Structure 1
Amino acid sequence: MTKRLLSSGELAKELGISRRSISRYADEGLISVALVTPGGRYKFDLEIVRGELRKSARERH
């Protein structure tokens, strides 16, 4: 079974943050983009992003 990839808006809603933050985090390399569509839109794996954000938060403290 394949995982469903989320758009930046869907990911933002799941994480309770803004779409702009998602885009900034992706551009800064803080979160991984799972797929870039032919139209240039990012798709994300929720569990991978959650892990990356947890790791980033631990490293800041």
Structure 2
Amino acid sequence: MSSGELADELGISRRSISRYADEGLISVALTTPGGRYKFDLNTVREELRKMAQERRDQR
């Protein structure tokens, strides 16, 4: 799934998706020869859930 498709599915910006991937916060399933990222929706959803839970736990 492309970053645009992932962003639409999750309701966040494509820029946020790219930033999260660049920072290593979400896993990239594949990087195309052109340098574009491809993602697995279920993996990213789980990673975002864990990030949100960690933020809640820090409060």
Category of TM-score, reference length = shorter chain: over 0.9
Which structure would you say has the larger RCO, counting Cα contacts within 8 Å and 6 or more residues apart?
A: 1
Which ranges in structure 1 are unaligned for 5 or more consecutive residues? 1-5
Higher normalized helix content (fraction of residues): 2
The number of residues matched between the two structures is 56
Alpha-carbon distance between aligned partners in 2 of 1:57 and 1:27, rounded to the nearest angstrom: 18
Q: TM-score, normalised by structure 2?
A: 0.92
Partner of residue 59, structure 1:
54
Tell me which of 32, 45, 52 is aligned to 2:40.
Answer: 45
List runs of 5+ in structure 2 lacking aligned partners. Answer: none
Question: Runs of 4+ in structure 1 displaced over 4 angstroms?
Answer: none
Q: Percent identity, aligned pairs only?
A: 84
Greater strand content: 1
TM-score (norm 1): 0.90
